[in-house]
A and B are shown apart, each in its own frame.
Chain A
Amino acid sequence: MTPRVKPLTLAWWILPSLLCIALHWLAFRAWFRADDFAWLGLTPHVHSFHDLLAALFEPRAQGTIRPWSERAFFMAGGTLFGLNALPYRIVIFATEFAALGLMAWIGRRLTGSPTAGFLAAIFWMVNSSSMEPLGWACVYNQVMCAFFLLLAFYFLLHYIDTGRRRYEVYQWIAFTLGFGALELNVVYPAIAAGYTLLCARKHFRRTLPLFAVSAIYAVVHSIAAPLPKTGDYAMHFDGSMFRTLGVLWTWTVGPTYRTTSLDLPAWVLPLAIGLLTVALLGLVALPSQTGIAPFFLLWFPVTIGPVLPLRDHVSEYYGYIPAIGLCWLGAWGVARAWNSGMAPRIAAVALSFVYLFLQTPHLLAATKWNYNLTVRTRNLVEGVAGAHELHPNQSILLYGMDAELFWNAMHDYPFRLLGIDNVYLAPGVEKNNASDPGWDGVQEFILPGPAVNRGLSQNELVVYDVRGPQLHNMTTAYAAMPRSNELPLRIDAGDPLIAGLLGPEWYKPDVDHRWMPKRATLRLAGPAVGGRNLHLQGNCTGEQLRPGDLQVTVSIEGTTLPAATIHNSSFDLEFPLPAAAVGKSELRIAIEVSRVYRPPQDTRDLGLAFGVIEIR
């Protein structure tokens, strides 16, 4: 290697990664948000080897099983580094750099052009669908999946080139490990088969056993975690898949959500996306001896196919892995045009600029949005930690929360990671832009008005304004504000602050639950509309169940409802509310259990332990 070649080679490998970190610098500096906290919350529940296996492999979050990219990643990170985001970012970017290197190598190998390999890596890294995989830790699964898919394919190419069996073994290892990153890995056999069919047909048959592994994985996965039939993650195998395909194509060729931070006439984006689409599809139609262009295009439907049935949950990062094929295709087109005369060369450069013009401003704006969101999240979480240090014996009420901050900084219980349980939202907060889906699940976090009043008068509550970058203690000002004293529809009986809504029969709370004796009373608001039920979630002792099932009777305003039966020590009972309960500002509810148990060395007769009591 001559001295001149060496720096070029070095630059060829390093420049995409350097450009990546420059463009995604705010992603590299981002903190945690939203689902990150749910995954970080796994570690405290691991006390044994069995717990570890469960934490790594039990289906969670829409039935996903991603032991490396989510479970091990966050559990190891949380154990070693707590909420220091830097080590997580280093791992994410290191994986991305490796994937960029693989992509460039594969691009060069498939096209025979170092320029095409280099450009493909640049195009991919600029694609705005990479914002969340690099900027949001819980989307690391995409980066790791891309790495495993590319690694397995890299070994396949090595095997084809050298005929050495060990590369085929390495391919199998990378492919199998990829299942621990993301379910999407299941498509790898189609990539391998597609490539060999189009470009290396004599190896096609050797890719077929890969399908068996994917099939076994799909069957086992669907047994362990059946596909959701309802909700956002329900799969719809119908015409909506074509619409989703169209949406994700435009989000991949153009900026995600087809938006840009630039002030452009409305026709510019569709026109630019249309031009790039025509150019990419035109490249496939060009005469070629290698059949590589159809393979590049094939990569897109193969890797996007598994998410097409997700009609109601189209995420901006779904184009991240499918974009790889289009980036190879585009880069190959540019390299080919460069050697085909002045007109194709100008056209290729112009189209490359159109692509960069579509992607880069949106990528930078989205990265900044994500970064700012993590800064807000960090300010809140660390501010609450500071407030808790000052007021360790008081609960914390947060005032001025908005839906975006709630969803990212509260919904997934980040405070529990710090050992802080009693953090609530001020009542009425959800009425601020109530239709925002970011408020989903907010009721669980709102402290009822009567509990707020009691907490303030008992000096058990401090109130912080979260609207600025720094938390402001506003307890006195909040105490002087007119506040609602409306009864809630939901209480957590284990919460010490809601004691005022419970009758005198209840025992004091035990950590996160509260026992009642044989009979106990409480107050809740009546529902605004009919058809609602009273839900009782809790536990009883095994000793109570030894003689047989327990009967639970509920009476509301003196009307006794049909009894429910408890078969297991953990229960979730449902009592249809009488029509007379609708619209009542206060319902007096009595709960009675048929049998109690007095443990040795306990003076209490234990009836039932609650849990959440809720009308919904």
Chain B
Amino acid sequence: MKIALLVALALVPLGCKQTKKVQVQQTVEESPRVASAIKMGDPKVATQLVTGFYGIEGNAWRWAAKQFTVTLRPPFGASQRGGVLQLNLTVPAVVIDKLKNISLTASVDGSPLPPETYTAAGPYVYKRDVPGSLLGADSVKVDFQLDKAMPPNDQDKRELGVVVNSVSLEAK
């Protein structure tokens, strides 16, 4: 009995080597796919921001230029039922102070969607129905266009339009 206890005590340090809570097993992953929704704070989806975006700020948003483009995956069922394009944006006070108002329009694979004009600073949702006929492909290109933007200046060399928080395509 004493020997058994001694053996057990001698074995205890073997168990002490590993301090990590659990081993992590590798998973079998899919090849990277295009997302239907992009949160601007997520660096992993940056490949879907085609043009017109600047770096992540506050872990949550990005400045966009006068023209900006994303690619999105039409969600399941959107090609039959149609989808909804939704851009969550903020029009900063500095933009309204300088430009008075600003108009936003979008197009999905070249097909334009109705514009919207913002005359006051604040958060907005640009939300437009997209016909299912435009959402049959694996991914679609969505171009956004502002009618004006703040040009680069000495303090900031960037062309600044609006602040974008997220953009998504949802099935109806």
Chain A contacts to B: CB under 8 angstroms: 10, 13-14, 17, 80-84, 86-88, 90-91, 93-94, 97-98, 100-102, 105, 379, 381-383, 385-387, 389-390, 393, 417-418, 453, 456-460, 464, 470-476, 479-480
Of chain A, the residue at the smallest CB distance from B19 is A82
Contact with A along B12-35 (1 / 0, CB 8 A): 101110111111111111100101
Chain B contacts to A: CB under 8 angstroms: 1, 3-5, 7-9, 11-12, 14-16, 18-30, 33, 35-38, 42, 45, 75-76, 168-171
A-B contact pairs, 12 of them (CB 8 A): A81-B18, A82-B20, A94-B7, A97-B8, A100-B4, A382-B24, A386-B24, A457-B75, A457-B76, A457-B171, A458-B37, A472-B27
Chain A neighbourhood of B22, CB < 8 A: 82-83, 381-382, 385, 417-418
Of A84, A97, A105, the contact of B4 (CB 8 Å cutoff): A97
- A606 to chain B minimum Cβ distance, whole angstroms, is 22
Chain B neighbourhood of A84, CB < 8 A: 15, 18
- B27 and A87 contacting across the interface, CB-CB below 8 Å: no
Chain B neighbourhood of A472, CB < 8 A: 27-28
Given contacts A94-B5, A457-B168, contact A387 B18 (CB under 8 A): no
Given contacts A81-B15, A97-B8, A476-B33, contact A105 B1 (CB under 8 A): yes
Chain A neighbourhood of B5, CB < 8 A: 94, 97-98
Chain A neighbourhood of B170, CB < 8 A: 457-458
- A82 and B1 contacting across the interface, CB-CB below 8 Å: no
Chain B neighbourhood of A390, CB < 8 A: 27, 29
Chain A neighbourhood of B25, CB < 8 A: 379, 382-383, 385-386, 470-471
A94 to B5, CA, bound (A): 6
- B13 to chain A minimum Cβ distance, whole angstroms, is 9
Of A389, A470, A476, the contact of B28 (CB 8 Å cutoff): A470
- A417 and B12 contacting across the interface, CB-CB below 8 Å: no
A586 to B56, CA, bound (A): 41
Of chain B, the residue at the smallest CB distance from A104 is B1
- A272 to chain B minimum Cβ distance, whole angstroms, is 32
- B50 to chain A minimum Cβ distance, whole angstroms, is 17
A409 to B22, CA, bound (A): 14
The list of the 3 closest CB pairs from A to B, nearest first, reads A101-B1, A87-B15, A94-B8
A82 to B33, CA, bound (A): 35
In this complex, which of B11, B14, B18, B25 has the most chain A Cβ atoms within 10 angstroms of its Cβ? B25
A479 to B77, CA, bound (A): 10
- A393 and B1 contacting across the interface, CB-CB below 8 Å: no
Of chain B, the residue at the smallest CB distance from A470 is B28
A105 to B36, CA, bound (A): 71
- B4 and A476 contacting across the interface, CB-CB below 8 Å: no
- B15 and A86 contacting across the interface, CB-CB below 8 Å: yes
Of chain A, the residue at the smallest CB distance from B35 is A459
Given contacts A87-B12, A456-B75, contact A475 B33 (CB under 8 A): yes
- A106 to chain B minimum Cβ distance, whole angstroms, is 11
Chain B neighbourhood of A475, CB < 8 A: 30, 33
Chain A neighbourhood of B28, CB < 8 A: 470-473
A391 to B125, CA, bound (A): 27
Given contacts A98-B4, A457-B36, A473-B30, contact A81 B16 (CB under 8 A): yes
A459 to B166, CA, bound (A): 12
Of chain B, the residue at the smallest CB distance from A94 is B8
- B21 and A417 contacting across the interface, CB-CB below 8 Å: yes
Chain A neighbourhood of B33, CB < 8 A: 475-476
